[in-house]
Structure 1
Amino acid sequence: MSTSRYKEEALLQILRGIAPGTPLRDAINNIVDLRHGGLLVIANDDKAQAVVRSGFELRTKLTPQRLVELSKMDRAIVIDEDMQTILYANAYLVPDPEIPSEETGTRHLTAEKVARQLGVAAIAISATRGRVTVYYGLYKHLLQDTITLTARANQALRILEQYRATFDDFSRELTALEFEGRVLPYHIANLVQTIMQMLAIQDEIEQIFVELGEEKELMELQLDWLMLDVRDAFVLMIRDFQANDRSPEKIIAEIQSLSPEELLSTERVMEALGYEAEEEALDVTIASRGYRVLSQIPRIPISVIENVADEFHELQNILDASEEELMEVKGVAEVRARAIRLGLQRLKRSLLLWE
């Protein structure tokens, strides 16, 4: 994991600890309502001692009521990294004066400098505007209220719902073309591009969920439903059409690293799958191996799907195979061979009805 990614995950962990429903968030909300402001530093004792010059050493259990009362004193409160213990109250903090900051208010200035110096979270609560700002290292994050976050999440879910409809349409179209042996690179790229948009929106929604805490439950169910089988279908599609021996996870990682402009390029997407980036290759049909199509047949384990696809190499060969030929594959007995043939026939008929 890169250093940047690690810090982002650490910030999300802090946000989970101050999400609605947590003791710390209850205390923050009460401090905002009282309009006297506050400065909270989340750090272990060793780090805290680098900036704490005076104050009351408490080492007592954190409760919302206790934290609110202690915040009535002007100086900072230091909370242990487990967010369960109050280490210091009325703490006078002296961060390194050489650390740059663009903040003007005393609390926010101190919070930013302490966060940068110690690499910890510092939370500044404005007395006049009720603004709550989380500083973590070089990151700065303004907490939003539940109503605003819920509205953002619902808007993103509506957009994701539209992408899900497009995903379903492209998936059915690709399956029909696989049966006919008429898959072109842009059919694959269209589905890849849609999935990548869905994964990006999912990531955005999940970050909002971190801040929503216990308020996210119903929306979380909706997100799970909208993303059902999307990632699995992505992996199987890559296995169907990749022209190299890289793992699907590495190919997905490469596709995720593409810029928005590169992702819109069919040539660049196909290059990630192992194809030559040549314009004439865009008009050449690509045979499917059948992983994704076989996965649409009920009660066929992935191990059997892999055995069948690996044995016959192409979907067309699977379609042409007799029950006896299917039974030669490991894990395929008579009942399962019949289920595969009938399942493929039903799937093909359902696609004709869809068209």
Structure 2
Amino acid sequence: MELRYGSANEQMRHALARIAPGTPLRDGIERVVRAKAGALLVLDDGPDVLSICSGGFLVDAPYSPQRLSELAKMDGAIIISEDGGRIARANVHLVPDPTVPTSETGTRHRTAERVARSLAVPVVSASEEMGVINVYAGGGKRQLQEIGRLLERANQALQTLERYKTRLDDSISNLTAVEVEDVATLRDVASVVQRGEMVHRIADEIETMIVELGVDARLLRLQLDELYGEIDDELELVVADYVADDRTAADTLTEMSRLTDDEVHDLRRAAATLHRIADVSDLSQSVAPRGLRLLHRTNRLSSDSATAIARHFEGLSKLQRATVEDLEAVNGVDATTAAEVRETLARVTESAILDQYN
């Protein structure tokens, strides 16, 4: 399964994966916390990091949890190589750009956030008094939670995902039904786009929890893969059927991902991401699909052939009335493919109508 998320999330997940349960780095950090010691770890030893280091001493030794625990007894920061295999320096005083904004109050946490934000490197800060572990990466901060509590939250999120996935499936089924009857409205399409983004955001958060849980997340991974399935592919096809000619489905899905939660809940705002010429304030206006989504249900029909057929007939309404001979007139479509397309469209139409009235 592949989720859509930005580079900031990718950076945070990469950092979480490096210190997830079962990794040598996590073992070392937990040793520090159990010893009631604090720690400031920079998980990169590139030139930019070394340029803000002052004092301390060169270690340049293979990483081990025991060695990290011993070095954390000193006050300064510890610099660990990007691959996590070597401790570069210890007892270092970090001098990040003081103009970089930070919301932290403690000296260690302020330094950690400023280093992470200014150099775009992952930084881990362990509190000496509270035993709290914070990860700074991708411009954000994440506090590591106790495994049992995180598992409980992840399971609750999975239940929420299941409910939203059911609503999305219902919206897609409704859209199919109104499409085959040629009575689709902008509201029907916007509802699918909106609910698809909600499902994605929940799945995205669960994905981050899975990365954070490391070896303890095997069952969660299986459940998420089963629930999330091919949602992104289906959403792309829905959007491709209605998006403006000068835009792609990816453009709309990216724009949706950048909306705030409140904006996502606004159907008109979701409709606006399609960038159609008509006034999006009128959600009851009729819209006509290109037919790509239903064409992709035909076995062994390539994306190029589906696009060629959709362009030839200029909409699902004309496509539904097309005969096998009409379909054969499309460049690259032979008799066998034409018959399969005709049969698929007839089957989808019949199924959608039956589902609507049952």
When the two structures are superposed, what TM-score results if normalisation uses the length of structure 1? 0.85
Shift of 1:262: 4.1
The within-5 A match list for 1:14-25 is: 14-25=15-26
- 2:287 and 2:97 map into 1 onto residues whose CA distance is 63
- 1:270 and 1:106 map into 2 onto residues whose CA distance is 46
Query: What number of residue pairs does the alignment pair up?
Result: 348
Give the corresponding residue for 1:79: 80
Q: What are the Cα deviations for residues 288-340 of structure 1, in whole angstroms up to 9, with x where unaligned? A: 22111122233322222112111111112222111111122233222222212
Give the corresponding residue for 1:130: 131
Q: What are the Cα deviations for residues 42-94 of structure 1, in whole angstroms up to 9, with x where unaligned? A: 34264336333133x221111223322333445443212332211123x1426
Give the letter aligned to residue 185 of structure 1: L
Give the corresponding residue for 2:158: 157
Give the corresponding residue for 2:170: 169
Q: What are the Cα deviations for residues 16-47 of structure 1, in whole angstroms up to 9, with x where unaligned? A: 21122221011112222333333323342643
Give the root-mean-square deviation of aligned CA atoms: 2.9
Shift of 1:236: 1.4
- Give yes or no for contact 2:272–2:280 (8 Å, CA) kept in 1: no
Tell me whether 159-168 or 60-69 shows the greater mean CA deviation.
60-69
Select the structure of larger CA radius of gyration.
Answer: 1
The within-5 A match list for 1:307-346 is: 307-346=308-347
Give the letter aligned to residue 123 of structure 1: V
Tell me whether 67-76 or 114-123 shows the greater mean CA deviation.
114-123
Give the letter aligned to residue 330 of structure 1: N
Give the corresponding residue for 2:217: 216
Q: Could you say if the C-alpha distance between residues 310 and 326 of structure 1 is closer, same or farther in structure 2, counting changes exceeding 3 Å?
A: same
- 1:19 and 1:122 map into 2 onto residues whose CA distance is 14
Shift of 1:204: 1.7
Identity %: 36
Structure with more relative contact order (C-alpha pairs < 8 Å, separation 6 or more): 2
Give the corresponding residue for 1:59: 60
Shift of 1:117: 6.7
Shift of 1:207: 2.1
Give the letter aligned to residue 179 of structure 2: E
Give the corresponding residue for 2:38: 37
- Give yes or no for contact 1:79–1:87 (8 Å, CA) kept in 2: yes
Which consecutive residues of structure 2, in runs of 5 or more, have no partner in the other structure? 1-5
Shift of 1:105: 5.6
Q: Say which of 255, 276, 279 aligns to 1:277.
A: 279
Q: Could you say if the C-alpha distance between residues 286 and 148 of structure 1 is closer, same or farther in structure 2, counting changes exceeding 3 Å?
A: same
Give the letter aligned to residue 323 of structure 2: S
Tell me whether 98-107 or 259-268 shows the greater mean CA deviation.
98-107
- Give yes or no for contact 1:51–1:114 (8 Å, CA) kept in 2: no
Q: Could you say if the C-alpha distance between residues 138 and 298 of structure 1 is closer, same or farther in structure 2, counting changes exceeding 3 Å?
A: closer
Q: Could you say if the C-alpha distance between residues 325 and 157 of structure 1 is closer, same or farther in structure 2, counting changes exceeding 3 Å?
A: same
- 1:197 and 1:175 map into 2 onto residues whose CA distance is 20
When the two structures are superposed, what TM-score results if normalisation uses the length of structure 2? 0.85
Q: Could you say if the C-alpha distance between residues 119 and 233 of structure 1 is closer, same or farther in structure 2, counting changes exceeding 3 Å?
A: closer
Give the corresponding residue for 2:71: 70
Give the corresponding residue for 1:252: 253
- 1:321 and 1:134 map into 2 onto residues whose CA distance is 58
- Give yes or no for contact 1:294–1:305 (8 Å, CA) kept in 2: yes
- 2:174 and 2:307 map into 1 onto residues whose CA distance is 23
Give the corresponding residue for 1:12: 13
Shift of 1:10: 3.3
Give the corresponding residue for 2:243: 242
Which consecutive residues of structure 1, in runs of 5 or more, have no partner in the other structure? none
Give the corresponding residue for 1:288: 289
Secondary structure at the aligned position of 2:319 is classed as helix
Q: What are the Cα deviations for residues 157-215 of structure 1, in whole angstroms up to 9, with x where unaligned? A: 21111111111111111111111111011111111111111121122222222322233
Give the letter aligned to residue 14 of structure 1: A
Secondary structure at the aligned position of 1:123 is classed as strand
Secondary structure at the aligned position of 2:312 is classed as helix
